[in-house]
């Protein structure tokens, strides 16, 4: 996951003046909702798309019905949709940051089922449309910190994973949750060899049940673009980005710590916990600072925050644990 060459989209290319702040984005959506309510949308067509798509920033059409979330992160400038959708890690579609946006078009996101298996009273298969209706969808902005040293601020859409888990009746013996991504060598023909596919990630049960852990179905008010893990992914905002498995097809409850793709590939570099921690360096680079994607190249790097700034909500999960050992 080490960045070896300059990225094509981020950094100096998009001036921060072109990044739409969340307030403006939300105001625009509020305005549109009000216009719809008053019948003014009759003339919408082009006008609506103008409102939704100013400047060079790619904009979604606010297709998901969402509600605000008390758990949203405020006071941060949002990363542009262009950067969020063109600077990706999704190795099944290639290892360059620009590969997923170029190659993930063929991911078949409908029909889409998620299998719930393992230590649950009633194993089942849930289709994505049921998942979308299970709980009100929330706008939940989070900082997103990649282990490679870059970060973004993303207005995700989803709801707490705990809401889904509650409907699954896990057995008391379930201590961990494993997430498995879609895998089809014919579709994901760009995936490098040397990794255990399908992509696997996992959380301890209490981490999975923490309200911050987001079952994510969209961003910027629209469904997830394929390259961002359509149609459903996990986002764990206090952990490095690789913990956030994309395009998941299976959620498995286990009594043992599940094996995970990056931990299997390089256990001394990528731990199971992988909480964002500026005090524990990656063996090959420091984790003290980060580069916010979309800021000009001369912008100073940001200090990385313990637990990515979400310590108030999650630090207690790790009371008594040596976080240097359990990196």
Q: Which is nearer to ligand MTE, 158 or 229 (CB)?
A: 229
Q: Is 203 in the site for ligand MTE (CB under 6 A)?
A: no
Q: Is 92 in the site for ligand MTE (CB under 6 A)?
A: yes
Q: Is 294 in the site for ligand MTE (CB under 6 A)?
A: no
- Rounded Cα distance between 216 and 278, Å, is 26
Q: Provide the H-helix boundaries in the chain.
A: 22-37, 44-52, 81-86, 99-103, 128-133, 161-166, 205-209, 261-265, 311-314
Least CB distance from residue 255 to ligand MTE, whole Å?
24
Which of 247, 55, 17, 233 is CA-nearest to residue 142? Answer: 233
* Region near ligand MTE per CB under 6 A, out of 13-21, 41-49, 54-62, 241-249: 241-249
Q: Is 238 in the site for ligand MTE (CB under 6 A)?
A: no
Least CB distance from residue 85 to ligand MTE, whole Å?
8
With vertex at residue 306, the alpha carbon angle to CA 79 and CA 96, rounded to the nearest 5 degrees, is 45
Least CB distance from residue 145 to ligand MTE, whole Å?
9
* Region near ligand MTE per CB under 6 A, out of 118-126, 244-252, 304-312, 314-322: 244-252
Among residues 244, 260, 263, 304, the one that binds ligand MTE under rule CB under 6 A? 244
Among positive and negative, which fits the CA dihedral 87, 90, 96, 100? Answer: negative
| Contact assessment for residue 181 and residue 171, using Cβ atoms and an 8 Å cutoff | no
Q: Is 290 in the site for ligand MTE (CB under 6 A)?
A: no
Q: Is 210 in the site for ligand MTE (CB under 6 A)?
A: no
Q: Is 304 in the site for ligand MTE (CB under 6 A)?
A: no
Going by C-beta distance under 8 Å and a sequence separation of 6 or more, which residues neighbour residue 118? 174, 178, 252, 253, 254
Q: Is 89 in the site for ligand MTE (CB under 6 A)?
A: yes
Q: Which is nearer to ligand MTE, 170 or 229 (CB)?
A: 229
Q: Is 241 in the site for ligand MTE (CB under 6 A)?
A: yes
- Rounded Cα distance between 278 and 178, Å, is 26
Q: Is 60 in the site for ligand MTE (CB under 6 A)?
A: no
Least CB distance from residue 79 to ligand MTE, whole Å?
9
Q: Is 79 in the site for ligand MTE (CB under 6 A)?
A: no
- Rounded Cα distance between 243 and 202, Å, is 7
| Paired tokens of 144 | 């997103």
3-state secondary structure of 51: helix
Please state, in angstroms and as integers, the Cα–Cα distance from residue 71 to each residue in 20, 158, 302, 325, following that order. Answer: 21, 12, 22, 30
Q: Is 90 in the site for ligand MTE (CB under 6 A)?
A: yes
Question: Which residue is it, tokens 């230590």?
Answer: 119
Q: Which is nearer to ligand MTE, 119 or 273 (CB)?
A: 273
Output phi, psi for 120, to 5 deg.
-130, 150
Between 245 and 274, how does the x/- string for binding to ligand MTE read (CB under 6 A)? xxx---------------------------
Interface residue list for ligand MTE (CB under 6 A): 1, 88-92, 146, 181, 199, 228-229, 241-242, 244-247
């Amino acid at each position: 996951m080490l960045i070896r060459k300059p990225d094509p989209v981020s950094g100096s290319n998009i001036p921060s003046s072109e990044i739409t702040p969340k307030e403006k984005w939300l105001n625009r959506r509020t305005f549109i909702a009000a216009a719809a309510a008053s019948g003014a949308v009759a003339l919408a067509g082009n006008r609506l798309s103008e409102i939704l798509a100013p400047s060079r920033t790619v904009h979604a059409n606010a297709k998901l019905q969402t509600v605000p979330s008390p758990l949203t992160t405020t006071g941060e400038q949002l990363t542009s949709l262009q950067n969020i959708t063109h600077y990706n890690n999704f190795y099944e579609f290639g290892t360059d940051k620009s590969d997923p946006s170029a190659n993930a078009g063929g991911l078949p996101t409908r029909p889409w089922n998620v299998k719930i298996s393992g230590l649950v009273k009633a194993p089942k298969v849930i289709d994505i449309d049921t998942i979308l209706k299970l709980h009100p969808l929330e706008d939940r902005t989070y900082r997103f910190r990649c282990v490679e040293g870059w970060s973004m601020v993303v207005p995700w859409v989803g709801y707490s994973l705990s809401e889904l888990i509650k409907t699954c009746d896990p057995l008391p013996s379930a201590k961990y949750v494993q997430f498995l991504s879609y895998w089809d060598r014919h579709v994901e023909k760009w995936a490098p060899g040397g990794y255990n596919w399908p992509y696997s990630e996992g959380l301890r049960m209490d981490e999975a049940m923490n309200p911050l852990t987001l079952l994510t179905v969209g961003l910027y008010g629209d469904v997830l673009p394929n390259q961002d893990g359509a149609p459903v992914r996990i986002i764990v905002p206090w952990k490095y980005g690789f913990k956030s498995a994309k395009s998941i097809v299976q959620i498995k409850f286990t009594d043992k710590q599940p094996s995970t793709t990056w931990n299997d590939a390089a256990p001394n570099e990528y731990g199971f916990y992988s909480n964002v921690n500026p005090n524990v360096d990656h063996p090959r680079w420091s984790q003290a600072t980060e580069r916010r994607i979309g800021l000009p190249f001369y912008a100073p790097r940001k200090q990385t925050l313990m637990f990515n700034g979400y310590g108030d909500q999650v630090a207690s999960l790790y009371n008594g644990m040596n976080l240097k050992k359990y990196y």
